[in-house]
Amino acid sequence: MHIGPAAGTAVTDEIAPYDPLPSDDELCRWAARDRETARVFRRGAAVAVAAPGLSMHDRLVVTGPPAEAIPLAQDVVAEIGRGYRLFGDRGLVDALVHAEPALRPTSGFGWMHRSGSPAVPPDGSAHWLPPTAAPAVTALLDRAFPDSYAYPGRPGAADRWAGVPAEDSGEPLAVAALAWCAPTVGLLAGVATAPAARGRGLGRRVCAFVLAEALAAYGTAALVVDDENTAALRLYRSLGLAYRPLRAAAFG
């Protein structure tokens, strides 16, 4: 679908749900996880994916060279409205904010990712938890990571959680999940360790397990981490994940 005229000969087109995704970028593959609900747009080498309910927000993931991505984003926002949060590489989002003063940027964060085989094989101490463990996972998140987007039973988040159980009680001491996954991108979320169990490497163990499961199932594993969380950045880098600087922005 042609959105409207643009500078020069470039136009913004909407890609039909049954057509191949016009980008192999991990962010686009993740955002377009549900081609029945996501809308995909292209302008030259730039691609935008409008994904409702992606990780608790309606998100507009934009990739490509700024000269094409900026007018693409402008066209798409005119089509879908200003309720979507822009999400993409930090330099591109900064350029979009400069072009659209009504956009309010977030602080920087990172997309950590890996493809292929695990850098650190799991040691066997973590495993998938049964559905009956959901209340214990919720209680742990309430104590250790209440700001987590992923919670048991939350829309789009995984109902299967992995954990490292205590030897005596069997209660999870560290947890992680795969949530909002795409067919070729498994997203880790909800990584948390009980405060009393920190400093024992339990978060590393559960992450190594879930990473291996994600790589086996999807081929690519990824997660989002705040730049200020230096301990998490150090952990994920030690597990072989590479860092990609991102930013989000929303219309104020």
- CB atoms near residue 228 (< 10 Å): 10
Same domain, 166 and 74: no
pLDDT, residue 6, reads: 43
**Overall domain count for the chain:** 2
Single residue among 52, 84, 105 that ends a domain in this structure: 105
Cα–Cα dist 209/47, whole Å: 33
Single residue among 105, 129, 146 that ends a domain in this structure: 105
CA end-to-end span of the chain: 28
Same domain, 125 and 219: yes
pLDDT, residue 4, reads: 46
pLDDT, residue 172, reads: 97
SS3 190: strand
Same domain, 124 and 26: no
pLDDT, residue 7, reads: 42
CATH code of residue 233: 3.40.630.30
Q: Which residue has the tokens 């934009």?
A: 62
Same domain, 89 and 156: no
Single residue among 76, 105, 134 that ends a domain in this structure: 105
Same domain, 217 and 128: yes
Q: Which residue has the tokens 């060279």?
A: 65
Distances 31 to 24, 87, 217, 231 between C-alpha atoms, Å: 12, 10, 18, 27
Range of the domain at 52: 13-105
- The one-character DSSP state at 20 is P
Packing angle between helix 66-80 and helix 90-99, nearest 10 degrees? 60
Name the token pair of 50. Answer: 């409008």
Residue 8 belongs to a domain: no
pLDDT, residue 219, reads: 97
**Which amino acid is present at 164?**
V
pLDDT, residue 160, reads: 85
Same domain, 74 and 170: no
Same domain, 132 and 90: no
pLDDT, residue 252, reads: 83
Rounded to the nearest integer, the mean pLDDT of the chain is 94
Cα–Cα dist 175/144, whole Å: 10
Cα–Cα dist 200/203, whole Å: 8
Q: Which residue has the tokens 């993740």?
A: 30
Please list the ranges in the chain whose pLDDT falls under 50. 1-9
- The predicted-structure confidence for 149-195, as pLDDT tens digits, reads as follows 999 998 877 778 999 999 988 899 999 999 999 999 999 999 999 99
